[in-house]
Amino acid sequence: MTSENSSKDEVNHLQRITLIWIVLSVVGDLLYWFLVGPHVPPGRMTETASANQEDFNILFLVAWPVLIGIWEYMLYAVVNWRSKKAGVPESVGGPRAAENRKAETSWIVITTVAVLLLAAFGTVEVIVDHGSGGGEGPNPIWNPSGAVKADAAALAGTATWSPNSSQVLPVQVIAQQWKFTYRYPTFGGFESAYLILPVNTEIAFNVTSLDVIHSFWAYQLSIKADANPQQNNVAYTKTLHTGSFEVRCSELCGIWHGSMFNSGNVVSQSAFMAWATKTEAANAQNTKNLPPFAWTYVPDANGAAGGYYIDGTVTPYSPVEVYGSKQPGS
């Protein structure tokens, strides 16, 4: 085989592979974007959910050509470049088959550019979207306007929220083995077993734990923040649509980890206001017996569930010690 023939052959192979690759990439990406993309979890119930869905879809647009490119190439190799004879085939390619500067350089340049663009894109998204619904720790740096003020007011007990005020609503998520409860500092700090949220409202989730590490995962809201004992972990989102959503624990927290889930609702602002004021009044007696509102709670010497943490003064678990003389209603 002369070198002229071989280089022509080379071009044909590469041309064919590239052509098929372009077709498969474009068709696949278009089908994905229009047919699959809009249905990708976590949906579009909140601002972070729709932003994170869009992020996933854009990553897929980049990932699909990579996947299909390598697969197509491998399949092409299997079909066209297999040894047809039994035994050891004769040598092919000569010494120059070991290197190809052009191929190497372009591979490195293309992957590097793609990776840097993806990292830049992710960075912009996470900053613009106030942490993308992920837990930012006790001192969030990417916060929506008014959020820090609302959290400070919540702690001082002066926070207010009313429909159509475009105020941020702080909500506290308390995780413990094996349930989530929620406190609303703007409504006297009452505690609820269900998470009810107003629509079109910026929410500041303040997540903490009473025992081990849990993770508060509000699936359709696209919120995920680890619940750490004695730490406040803050995450933000803005609700866009009404509907129900699920809450799950996504960090292993003991044997009933899988059963640690409940659900919540995003309702209209007026319905939320009505529910919150009604529940605040109905729970007033219980709320008085709760520990005063704070971002974190230190369990008593025996731990919230009793007896896990040793201390100098080990006493049996006592609800009286935790809640005062008046025990809360169930």
Instruction: Give, as ranges, the residues between 201 and 220 that touch another protein (CB under 8 A).
Output: 207, 211-213, 215, 217, 219
Identify the helix (H) or strand (E) that includes residue 7. helix 3-31
Residue of 114, 97, 138 whose CA lies nearest to 228 = 138
- Contact letters for another protein, residues 123-162 (x by CB under 8 A): x-xxx-x-xxxxxxxxxxxx--------------------
Q: What angle do CA 323, 234, 324 make, to 5 degrees?
A: 5
Measured from the CB atom, is 157 or 258 closer to another protein? 258
CB of 76 to another protein, least distance (A): 9
Q: Does 72 bind another protein (CB under 8 A)?
A: no
Q: Are strands 169-176 and 202-209 parallel, antiparallel or unpaired?
A: parallel
Measured from the CB atom, is 107 or 157 closer to another protein? 107
Where b means 16+ CB within 10 Å and e means fewer, 175-203 reads bbbbebbbbbbbbbbbbbeebbbbbebbb
Q: Does 321 bind another protein (CB under 8 A)?
A: no
Which 16-35 residues touch another protein, going by CB under 8 A? none
Q: What token pair was written down for 47?
A: 């601002």
Surface-to-core class of residue 125, CB atoms within 10 Å of its CB (0-12 exposed, 13-18 middle, 19+ buried): middle
Which 259-288 residues touch another protein, going by CB under 8 A? 259
Which 42-71 residues touch another protein, going by CB under 8 A? 42, 48, 51-52, 55-56, 59, 63, 66-67, 70-71
Strand partners, 233: 207
Measured from the CB atom, is 126 or 322 closer to another protein? 126
Residue of 299, 214, 308, 217 whose CA lies nearest to 253 = 214
Stretch that binds another protein, among 160-168, 191-199, 247-255, 272-280 (CB under 8 A): 247-255
Measured from the CB atom, is 27 or 115 closer to another protein? 115
Q: Does 320 bind another protein (CB under 8 A)?
A: no
Q: Does 11 bind another protein (CB under 8 A)?
A: no
Measured from the CB atom, is 102 or 292 closer to another protein? 102
Query: Could you give the 3-state DSSP secondary structure of residue 222?
Result: coil
Q: Does 38 bind another protein (CB under 8 A)?
A: no
Measured from the CB atom, is 197 or 225 closer to another protein? 225
Residue of 45, 64, 51, 63 whose CA lies nearest to 122 = 51
Which 166-195 residues touch another protein, going by CB under 8 A? none
CB of 288 to another protein, least distance (A): 26
110 in the Ramachandran plot: left (φ > 0), alpha (ψ -120 to 50) or beta?
alpha
